[in-house]
Structure 1
Amino acid sequence: MKFVLFVVISGSLLFALGGCARKNDYMPPAGATGEKIFKSACVQCHSPVSGKVMILRPEMANKEAIVERVRNGKGFGMPAFPNLTGDSVQSLVEYVLENSITQ
């Protein structure tokens, strides 16, 4: 019974991590809004909560922290998005900050 439970938990974990690769080559179309970028590149892993796109820890609730996380990713769960630069990353950051809550 313990072995079966371990397999189920491991299978669920692998499934959950499988959707979020280490690097994502998403390229936003020219002039894409932050909302469009979020819905195209982020919503696969970040589901809205209570009408907000994210719940941010205080240390993540600023432009610099979000840009760094988007560009470099973190661990196995958050991929890096090297193609999100300039206006596209700024639009995404503004959208996230305007539509998130801080814990």
Structure 2
Amino acid sequence: MRKIPLLMVCALIVLSGCSRDKYMPEASATPEIIFKEACAKCHTPVNGKVMALSPSMANTEAIIDRIRNGKGFSMPAFPNLMGDSVEGLAQYILENSETK
């Protein structure tokens, strides 16, 4: 019986860390550096491509929306990426990805 409350506490701790990422890039960080520091933990480049985008995600507006808002538990939101940082990152992702 003691295992269930312990598992619930562990699950809450893990899930609470999944909703938002506190990453803040340095002012001089290039889009490539931002990708390596914030994204490559989960999106490991393969054959020179940083990720495979669905047709609906293959535009900067959709990528920026996903970066800012995340997606469920699989993709955290990055609220600290704003302005030129998020726009440059979205363009970098678009230029260095393939479309499925």
TM-score (norm 2): 0.81
Q: Does 2:48 match 1:51?
A: yes
Q: For structure 2, list consecutive stretches of 5 or more residues without a partner in the other structure.
A: 1-10
Q: Considering only aligned residues, what root-mean-square deviation do their CA atoms show, in Å?
A: 1.7
C-alpha distance in 2, partners of 1:66/1:92? 9
Q: Which residue of 1 aligns with 2:73?
A: 76
> What's the offset of the Cα at 1:92?
0.4
1:1-103 equivalences in 2 (<5 Å): 21-103=18-100
Contact conserved, 1:49 with 1:55, CA < 8 A, in 2? no
TM-score (norm 1): 0.79
Q: Which amino acid aligns with 1:100?
A: S
Contact conserved, 1:31 with 1:88, CA < 8 A, in 2? no
Q: For structure 1, list consecutive stretches of 5 or more residues without a partner in the other structure.
A: 1-13
The list of structure 1 runs, each at least 4 consecutive aligned residues, that deviate by more than 4 angstroms after superposition, is none
Percentage identity across aligned positions? 61
Count of residues in correspondence between the two structures: 87
C-alpha distance in 2, partners of 1:98/1:46? 15
C-alpha distance in 2, partners of 1:67/1:90? 7
